[in-house]
Amino acid sequence: MIQFIQNLGRNTCISFNKLGRSTYFLLQTMSGMFSVLGRPRLLLNQMYSVGVLSFLIITISGLFVGMVLGLQGFYTLSDFGAEETLGVMVAASLVRELGPVVSALLFAGRAGSALTAEIGLMKATEQLSGMEMMAVDPIKRIITPRFLAGLISMPILAALFSAVGIIGGQMIGCGLLGVDEGAYWSQMQANIDFQDDIINGVIKSIVFGFVTSWIALFEGYDAIPTSEGVSRATTRTVVNSAFSILGLDFILTALMFGDN
Amino acid sequence: MQHTSTQDTLVGLFVASGIVGLFFLAMQVSNLTSFVDEDSYTVTARFDNSGGLKIKSPVSAAGVKVGKVSSIYLDPKTYQSVVQLSINSKFNTLPDDTTASIFTAGLLGEQYVNLEPGGSDVYLQKNGKIEITQSAIILEKVIGQFLFKSAEEKK
């Protein structure tokens, strides 16, 4: 029993300690923002490895998610004779929820885990301490460009996911199942609001990009510098990112769409 | 990591495709295009009951959408529902004896305001008032009246 209470206390201390360190890490990262703007090369390189290389998985998943939504939505809606509102259903669920959430989950798996492994290995092979020896701040040189790249790429990827998904839904709905194409688009335009739906979706994806990049970079930076430590850190990145994305999504949805 | 110009091009293409995606969402998916001609004027209509009418509900004349509901509030003196209609300036020739009624689109559809133009030569002005109105039909009320009536007749 005493053992249990001891463990509880220790684990609480450890988690608060980690939270504090990660906040300090985030502040350090943010303070490096301006120096990165002076060296756009670093940012461009990271945009390539974080954003461009995630492009394919995001668009292909978006296409399939849209197609599945079109198929499933059609079967449910045709029971009520409301096939014309298929466009609204596909677009609303993609723009509000699935676009930001699924692309953030994929992003955490595709780019977040790579970031953690890269930085964890840099730490394990003492590249980070090497930089410090040469009076180069590893946070400014390594972490901040990656953080910014994640922050910029995420909304772009989420917008692409939604756009491709809507086209996928249209392909299945109008091409295969025979929903009227004009009704698909016009119902969508009548019911999707730019401010309420699309801007809120973009805000969501910016928040998710912020959180996933933060988690991935901190876990890498904080990893125990052994092979096992890096592998654990990578696992933690994916698990923690998924939790925070889904939890934050609930909170954001309640805040944004709660009143209507 | 080496810097190559293909990498730069790919990053450029990536950002551009993101902008195109967002542009597509804004123009093709949302109602942003209908926001462009925001030039409109407001008229007020008083209903005894505005039913399930909401802000942004459509206002139409002869089936054509001419505007939207901009605000709904309760008049504390007359206990009437005051509905402000924001009508596109293109449709500025509505006579001042226009009737406003609240109808339902479809069986379960949303409610909208229908404008039935009258025969007057004077047009509705900005901040004008629609005098003749017909309230929303509340299904429960109608059923209640029907049941009450049929019970009366049986006596």
**Nearest-CA residue of chain B relative to A55?**
B14
Asked if the Cβ–Cβ distance from A194 to B15 is below 8 Å, we say no
Shared domain check, B65 and B51: yes
Q: Tell me the residue range of the domain where A190 lies.
A: 36-253
Shared domain check, B87 and B64: yes
A80 in a domain, yes or no? yes
Q: Could you tell me if B29 lies within 8 Å of chain A, comparing CB atoms? A: yes
Asked if the Cβ–Cβ distance from A95 to B33 is below 8 Å, we say no
Count the domains in chain A.
1
pLDDT at residue A59 in the model: 93
Residue with tokens 């769409």: A257
Shared domain check, B42 and B29: no
B95 in a domain, yes or no? yes
B113 in a domain, yes or no? yes
Q: Could you tell me if B110 lies within 8 Å of chain A, comparing CB atoms? A: no
Shared domain check, B47 and B16: no
A89 has pLDDT over 80: yes
A27 in a domain, yes or no? no
Name the residue facing A198 among B18, B26, B35 (closest C-beta): B26
Asked if the Cβ–Cβ distance from A160 to B3 is below 8 Å, we say no
pLDDT at residue B96 in the model: 83
Q: For the segment A116-128, what is each residue's pLDDT rounded down to a tens digit?
A: 999 999 988 988 8
A228 in a domain, yes or no? yes
A13 in a domain, yes or no? no
pLDDT at residue B3 in the model: 60
How far apart CA A176 and CA A183 sit, in angstroms, is 15
Shared domain check, B94 and B23: no
Shared domain check, B121 and B58: yes
Asked if the Cβ–Cβ distance from B25 to A185 is below 8 Å, we say no
Shared domain check, B102 and B133: yes
Mean pLDDT of chain A: 89
A 132-191 residues inside an 8 A Cβ radius of B: 152-153, 155-157, 159-160, 162-164, 166, 185, 188-191
A10 in a domain, yes or no? no
pLDDT at residue A178 in the model: 83
Shared domain check, B23 and B45: no
Count the domains in chain B.
2
- What are the DSSP calls for chain A, one per residue? -HHHHHHHHHHHHHHHHHHHHHHHHHHHHHHTHHHHHT-HHHHHHHIIIIIGGGHHHHHHHHHHHHHHHHHHHHHHHHHTT-GGGHHHHHHHIIIIIIHHHHHHHHHIIIIIHHHHHHHHHHHHTTHHHHHHHTT--HIIIIIHHHHHHHHHHHHHHHHHHHHHHHHHHHIIIIIIS---HHHHHHHHHHH--IIIIIIHHHHHHHHHHHHHHHHHHHHHHHS-SSHHHHHHHHHHHHHHHHHHHHHHHHHHHHHHHTT-
A124 in a domain, yes or no? yes
Shared domain check, B77 and B29: no
A211 has pLDDT over 90: yes
Q: What is the pTM of this model?
A: 0.77
pLDDT band at A113 (very low <50, low <70, confident <90, very high): very high
Q: Tell me the residue range of the domain where B137 lies.
A: 38-143
B130 in a domain, yes or no? yes
B153 in a domain, yes or no? no
B152 in a domain, yes or no? no
Q: For the segment A151-181, what is each residue's pLDDT rounded down to a tens digit?
A: 999 999 999 999 999 999 999 988 888 888 8
Asked if the Cβ–Cβ distance from B14 to A55 is below 8 Å, we say yes
A210 has pLDDT over 90: yes
Q: For the segment A7-53, what is each residue's pLDDT rounded down to a tens digit?
A: 999 999 988 998 999 999 899 888 888 888 888 888 888 888 888 88
Q: For the segment A175-202, what is each residue's pLDDT rounded down to a tens digit?
A: 888 888 888 888 888 788 887 888 889 9
A229 has pLDDT over 60: yes
Shared domain check, B87 and B12: no
pLDDT at residue B106 in the model: 64
Residue pLDDT tens, chain B, 155 long: 556 788 888 888 888 888 888 888 888 777 665 555 567 888 898 888 888 788 778 888 888 888 888 888 898 998 888 998 888 888 888 888 888 888 887 655 678 888 888 888 888 888 888 888 888 777 788 888 888 888 888 76
A51 in a domain, yes or no? yes
Shared domain check, B131 and B64: yes
Shared domain check, B118 and B98: yes
